[in-house]
Structures are given as structure tokens and as C-alpha cells.
Chains A and B, each alone.
Chain A
Amino acid sequence: MSRRTFSKLALASLALAWLPLTTQAAATIDQAAPAFSGKGADGRTINLSDYKGKTVVLEWTNHDCPFVKKHYDGGNIPKLQKDAAAKGVVWLQVISSAPGEQGQVDGPTAIKINGYRDSKPAGTVLDADGTIGKLYGAKTTPHLFIVNPEGKLVYKGGIDSIPSSNPADIAKADNYVSSALTALAAGKKVAHPSTQPYGCSVKYAS
């Protein structure tokens, strides 16, 4: 065997050892929130990195899902969005429904629907291929994630503590998102960083 063959063999065996090293970015509390870049409903590109230095809320949504409607029809989420904007928090909606599935809309329609619901988020990310949803492990609509100004994930889970489609439960429940935002503004740790998300399943392509 020639010298060149061994070097190849040697390198090949070294290369094999590196195979299992490929890992996926995951959304873990107190770790850096996975970076993403997506198309906004208004046509601009939305990058998570653009908002470094600000608190960012990611809200996975599907306007036809009864659980999303529970929080929009009575004005619960629109109010949270307005309060967030007033405090300088960036609230982004993310729509990960696949084409043809419930909730998937194009940019102009998404803006129109927000208009009907009096919802004013800082932006709406159209994630039709589900990449950003799968990157974060978004399972339900609504599913909420909060990223702190340093870029770390500090909250993931449901919007509040009572999983149901009954609007009457909103007043009785603990709203995890507003508590987390209040804690962050006061420089304190979020009390419940990971809670059970509830809602319809995110309509990824099947």
C-alpha cells in the first residue's frame, strides 16, 4: 500500500469520529435563543438578531384556531401586544401553517386580519415551510417564547395557566406572559420559565 493510501485511511478514520458531532440548535431556557431570519407580512425580512438589546416575544398563531380566537376575540392578546409596544418590547407573530393548512395566509391577508382584530404586533413572520417553528419546537397555537435583551431564551410555554377554549377562563388564569414581561422589566428572574403550552397543533406540512 502506498503512503498516500494510509494518509487517506488515517484521515478517513479520523473523519468518522466527527460524524456524531453534528447537533441541532434547540430552544432551551437560559441558552441563546436560536437565530432566525424570516419574511415579514409587509415584505421586509425579519431577523431576530436585529432586536438585540430589546425583549422579544414570539407568538405562534393561527387565526382560525379556537384557542387563538379565545384570546383575540375578547381582546386579551391585542391588549398584551399594546402594553408590550408601550414598554418597548418587540412582539412578533409567527405563522408556521403549511400551504393549504388552516391559518396559512399571505402577507396582505395577515395584515388585514390583524386589522379586524385590532391587533398591532411589531411584525408577523410568515414561516410557511415551518423552519422557524421546528427550530423552536413550537407545538401549539398559541405558543409563546420570550427572548431577553441579551438574546437568551427566558420563557417558553402557554399564554396562561388554564388550558381551555372558554374565554371566561382568561380572567381566572395566571397570565404567564405578562408576569414574565413584568419580571424582566424589574430585572428579576422569570418565575415560571417553562410551562405547558396549549392550543391547536401547529399545522406543519404532513
Chain B
Amino acid sequence: MDRANFLLMAALMSTWLALLSPSAQALSSQAATEQVQAQLVASVDAVRPGDQIVLGVQQRIIPHWHTYWRNPGDSGIATTIAWSLPPGASAGDIQWPVPSRFNLGPVTNLGYEKEVTLLSSVQVPDDAKAGGSFPIQAKVNWLVCQEVCIPQEVQLELVLPILQKGAATGAGSPLIAQTQARLPMTNPWPIQIEQRADKLALKVTSPELQSAKVKGIWFYPAKWGQVVHNAEQTRRQQGDTLVLDLQPGEDPVLAGGTLSGVLVVTEDGGDGAVSRGFTVDSTVLPGVATPAPQPVDIGLAAALGLALLGGLILNLMPCVFPVLSIKALALLSHADQTPAQKRLHGLVYTSGVLASFALLAGSLIALKAGGSQVGWGFQFQSPLFVLAVAYLMFAVGLSLSGVFSIGGSVAGVGSSLAERPGYSGAFFTGVLAAIVATPCTAPFMGGAIGYALAQPAGVLLAVFLSLGLGLALPYLALSTWPALQRALPRPGLWMERVKQGFAFPMYATAAWLVWVLAQQAGINSVAIALAGMVVIAFAAWLYESFRHGQGLPRLAGLGVASLALLMALVGGYVGINASPSGTASSVQMTPGTDQHWEPYTAQRLQELRAKGAPVFVNLTAAWCITCLVNERVALNQSSVTSAFKDAGITYLKGDWTNQDQQITKVLTQFGRSGVPLYAFYPKGIDAAPVVLPQLLTPEIVLTALKAAAIP
């Protein structure tokens, strides 16, 4: 070939080779796949030696598809960025904007849809030469999914000129500042994370979070396995503190470990919902930090036995004894009944008691399943319940006094031979006995019920039924064995007197309950309760006056009686709901001038124990008679109070009259489900608490103080 052609060929070939060589490839700061358009941007237009700049990788995702957060959730993979930087430069970890949740059936993923920019700080080396260039390459890998998933990779490059120190570097991309506003913020409120039995309680003390504008709060854990991603996070309010219940995952954080993540709060903004994220990085606390004894593990058989015994002893408590005596009298009044009928009476009474305890166990199980911290006697923490029982006690008192009688049932005395045996009365007396028994915790019962509350539902039910059986046993025995009945005295006028006499313990119980109500719902509730009782007495008198009559007067009389009763109930309900609920400082808790005790808080206890100071803790409630008796008989006695003062013991009194989660927690730690609880922490930081029995005398307290004193 001639020289011209040869030169042409050579030129073409060299151009080809040049084009084919790798150095001719040019990466761009933008790349796209079918689902995602990616872009590499920077916070500046140029760099200077020693600068720190922020880079961002933006993903614009087509509708309905999403990419993933640092913790992708149940499936998926987080986006990764592999940086190639000039020597001496370093890049920090990805800073992730606040994520969203995507639920696909039982699978929950955490990530981003529509648009997200992942930021990273980059340090420019001090020896960068002004006038040169700073090439940044990023190999970005992500998984983008809708229903199917596609792993994708793009390579992006951005070259920034290096300027001298002091030169203006330009504003860079506005995306960086926009994204920095979407990063999780440092948390402004105190956050505490506590490990409970089968969940983690995340507590945020923040009045702002209670605003009605807050539509949703969700905790996004930073690592897989710490929290179940698709489990409902129930929200509860405790005063100023919001409690979020988190279900621990396959790899849960243990007490002492750290739980990190982002708490996302969604609010109603001007146009639509606005989400803000707050970083969480807290140690998981086991609850009260002071050394607590292991909850007593007593075994099912022992628990059942103790519950039975406890039920038997409950019969002797001031709450139950009048009811039992009335029933025994009723039995005597039916001395003409056949043994079979008497036995049936006993069985129906027992079934009433057992049914009530089963219902109580059922509600406790349901409440536990719902996550509440409950204890024994919890129903008395509701003022409405207290009012209702006060009314009931008053009405029973009226019946015993003879103001009215319901078909010869509750009291049973004076009924004619022709009247029905009164099985309905037997059943409801059983229910009554169960209701009034709850505020009295007898010895033995604390351990059994504390054990039961930590067990599965079946065991809880069994223990409660055993308790009910113990409660019903004396009357069941009386009604079943003729020999025992023969031991009872012959009926006579004295029975009428005794029955009327027993009205007074009922009135006394009603009066005490009104006092409890006053603690819980304020002074106005006393007026409401007393007014209600007047109306009930009126209704009772009307009922008795008209029920033996006939025709219109009877109807009218009974009608007005029912109306009056309804008024009392509705008035009570409305009145109590309108009253302010009792705070922790009820009448008995207001510190006096020569006060020998302080109100209990977990913080104060921790403070004192951190110093190794001796502390006596008394957990009580206004509706707990055993507690009040113990205080009067033992703890408020001068011998005991001076012994406390001499030994420098701080006396902390905790009031459980109304719901108090702190106190419920402490009770659970000691294996108890209800009050009273008396725990003495001897001097010394590591000293374990000594638990005192539930029936106190001054001697018991003083002996315990001496026994634990180790100089």
C-alpha cells in the first residue's frame, strides 16, 4: 500500500487503541438504573487542604419501590458506599436520614422511598496541593425492592479542584443542607430503657410528646434482632412520661447492654404529616438498681397449698368475717331444710366464690397480656370500684338492720317456711365474700399470688381458684357435715339481734371505703358518696314498703325506688369521673411537722443505698386494712420510731392507693403482688434487703432491726 494509506491506517489504529484503553473511560457524578437515579454531590464546589467536606449519594427511586436503612428490618440489605479517595483522605460512616417502615404481610422493612441522600464526611489531607484536583469515586451497592428485589451497583465520580487555604469554596449542592435537616437529631429529653418481664419499656419524659398533634411514635432499632420489627409498640402515658413497649427480638439486648436506634415522631404539620427522628443510645436498665432478692420460686404445689391456707385465714380478716357469720346464721335459719338442701347451699356459695375468683384471675390475665403491671387489690385503685363497694356494703347493712330484705336471701332470717331456699342469695353471698376479701392480704397469700402472677395463665387461674376454695371452705364444711351443724346453737330471738348487730361492721366498712374514696378522688367525692347512700336508703325503704302491696301503688312505689337507685348510681359515676384523681400525696401522705417518714421514690432509695444508709421501706395503700393496722400497731409506735431515729434509718413510705408503676415494679421484684410490703435495707452498700412478715408487732420490727445491725 502507498504511504498515504499507511499513515491513515496508523492514525485510525492508534485512535482505536486510545479509545479502547481503560484510561479513556469517564465516570460521571450521575448514574441510573431502571428503578433508581443516583447522583454524587458535595457540600462545596472546591476543596482546600485540611478541610472537612460532606458528600452525599442521592437515590431517586421510582414509585412503590424502596431501598434500605442501616438496619433493613426483616429482609433486605442496607445500601453500601465504597469510597476511592486520594491518598491521605478518609471518609466517615454513612449518616442515615430518618427512615420509614414498609409492611409486606408479616415482613417489615425499614428504608426509604421516593428520594433519599446518604451523607458521609470526608477529610481532605493537609498536604493536598493547591491547583491540583481531588477525585472522589464511589461504588454504591443497594437492593431496590417493590415486590421483587433487584441488587444494583453503580459507580459515581466527582472531581473537585483544590484551592489555596482561605479561598472561597462555593456553596456546593443544596441537597446536602436539605438532607442534614432530615438526619436524626440529638435527643433533647431524658430517655430511660428498662427491661421488664417480656418486653423493653422505653420511657421518654417529655410534655411536648403528649400534644394532640403527635400522630405516631415509633422506635427503629439500629441492629437486627434487638426489637421485633413488626410488633406493635404500645404507647402508655404516665404523667409526663411516655412509655413505649418494645418486644425484644431474636438477639435481645440484656440489662447493662446498649440499645441504639432512632425514635421517630410523626406530627401533623401545616401540609401533611412531618416526621422527625431522635437518636437513642441508652443502656438497658434492669429496673431499680439496688440489689433485690430473687423472687421466691415456690413451685406449683406449694403455691396451691399456700393459697388454700391463705383463703382459710382470709375468713378471719375484718373484711370477710361478718359475711361469713351472716351466712352461718342463714344456715341456722333454715334448720328445717334437708341436709341435701343445706349441702347444695354450701356448693352454690362455693361456686359463687370460685366464679368471682375465676373472673378476677381472668381480668388479671387479660391485663397482663395487655402489658399492664397489676397487683393484688388493684381493683381498689379505681375510685368507681371503691364507690360501688361502699354502696354495696351500705345496702347490705340496711338489709341486716331490717330496712328491707330481698326474698329472704342475704340474711335469710325471718323467712317463712314457704319461701324459696334462696340459692340466688347463696351465690351472691359467695360473690360478695370474694369482693370484700381482696383488700385484705393475709399472711401466706403474698408469696402464692406473687408466684402466680409470674406464671402462665393456667397456673394463675389454679392458684386463684385454690384461694377461693380456701375462702369458701369453712361454710362449705358447715353446710356439708351435719355434725358441725349440730354444734351450732339452736335458733331463737338472739339470732335476730346478732343479725342486726352485724349491720354495723358493714356500715363501718362503708365508712372506711368513703375515706379511701376521699384519698383517691378528693373531698367532693365524700359528698357524692354520702348523698348516694341517702338516696339508696330511701330507695330501700320504698322497696320494702311497697313490695308486699298490690296494683298501682306497688308499681309506683317500686318504680320510684328503682329511679332513686339509678340516680344514686349515675350520680356517683358522673361525680367521681368529674373529680380530680388523687395524686401520690393523699391526706395520710402529707408530710407533717415532726414527720418521721419520707415519701418513697425509686430515686431516693437509690440515693440512700448508694451511700450505704439503712432504709426501711413501707409500701401501703389506703384501702388495705392490714397495712393500716400494722402502721397503727407497730410502725407508728414511739418505740419503733425512736429506734429508727437512733439507728439513723430513713423511713420511706410508698402509697399504692392509686396506680403507681414504680411501686408495682418494686412489689414484683420482691415476689409480691400486693401491699403491704415491709423491707428493711441494713447499713452497707451491698447489704441485701430483709423482708418482714405481713402482720407486724413492734417486737418483730425491733428484732429485725437488731438482727440486721452489722456495725
Contacts and interface: CB of A to CB of B under 8 A. Distances in A.
Given A17-B359, A165-B143, A201 B75 contact: yes
A196 B107 contact: no
A205 B149 contact: no
Interface stretch (A1-9, A48-56, A81-89, A146-154): A1-9
Contacts of B361: 17
Contacts of B352: 6, 10
Given A139-B107, A204-B105, A6 B348 contact: yes
Interface in B332-391: 348, 351-352, 354-356, 358-359, 361-362, 365-366, 369
B77 A10 contact: no
Interface string B567-609: 0000000000000000000000000000000000000000000
A46 B104 CA distance: 28
B493 interface: no
Contacts of A132: none
A1 B424 contact: yes
Which of B105, B356, B457 is the most central at the interface, judged by chain A CB atoms within 10 Å of its CB? B105
A72 to B, nearest CB: 15
Contacts of B251: 194, 196
B567 to A, nearest CB: 25
Contacts of A3: 348, 423
Interface string A179-206: 0000000000000001011111111111
Contacts of B151: 66, 165
Given A139-B74, A139-B75, A201-B74, A19 B366 contact: yes
Contacts of A163: 77
B362 A20 contact: yes
A134 interface: yes
A140 interface: yes
Contact of A206 (B105, B348, B359, B427): B105
A164 interface: yes
A24 interface: no
Interface string A29-59: 0000000000000000000000000000000
A203 B104 CA distance: 8
A102 B225 CA distance: 26
B457 A164 contact: no
A66 B149 CA distance: 7
Given A6-B424, A21-B457, A206-B104, A140 B75 contact: yes
B109 A201 contact: yes
A168 interface: no
B27 to A, nearest CB: 21
Given A6-B424, A201-B109, A16 B77 contact: no
A193 to B, nearest CB: 10
B651 to A, nearest CB: 40
A102 B75 CA distance: 15
B384 to A, nearest CB: 20
B351 A6 contact: yes
Nearest to A102: B148
B198 interface: no
A164 B427 CA distance: 67
Given A139-B75, A139-B107, A140-B75, A13 B366 contact: no
Interface residues of B, number: 40
Contact of A201 (B76, B354, B369, B457): B76
A14 interface: yes
Contact of A9 (B149, B224, B355, B369): B355
A196 B71 CA distance: 11
A88 to B, nearest CB: 29
Contact of B225 (A18, A21, A196): A196
B147 A13 contact: no
Nearest to A193: B250
B85 interface: no
Interface string B246-267: 0000110000000000000000
Given A10-B351, A203-B147, A17 B107 contact: no
Contacts of B224: 196
B75 A200 contact: yes
A111 interface: no
A13 B77 contact: no
B63 interface: no
A94 to B, nearest CB: 15
A14 B355 contact: yes
A101 B354 contact: no
A138 to B, nearest CB: 9
A101 B77 contact: no
Contact of A20 (B145, B348, B359, B457): B457
Interface string A58-97: 0000001111000000000000000000000000000000
A28 B314 CA distance: 42
28 contacts: A6-B348, A6-B423, A13-B356, A13-B358, A14-B355, A14-B358, A16-B358, A16-B359, A17-B358, A19-B366, A66-B149, A134-B106, A139-B106, A139-B107, A164-B77, A165-B151, A194-B250, A194-B251, A196-B250, A196-B251, A198-B76, A200-B145, A201-B76, A201-B104, A201-B107, A201-B145, A204-B105, A204-B107
Given A139-B75, A201-B149, A203-B104, 19 more contacts: A1-B424, A3-B348, A3-B423, A10-B351, A13-B358, A14-B354, A17-B358, A66-B151, A137-B106, A139-B74, A156-B250, A164-B141, A194-B225, A194-B250, A196-B251, A198-B76, A200-B75, A200-B148, A206-B104
Interface of A: 1, 3, 6-7, 9-10, 13-14, 16-21, 64-67, 101-102, 130, 134, 137, 139-140, 156-157, 163-165, 194, 196-206
* 5 nearest A-B residue pairs (beta carbon): A17-B362, A165-B151, A204-B105, A201-B75, A201-B107
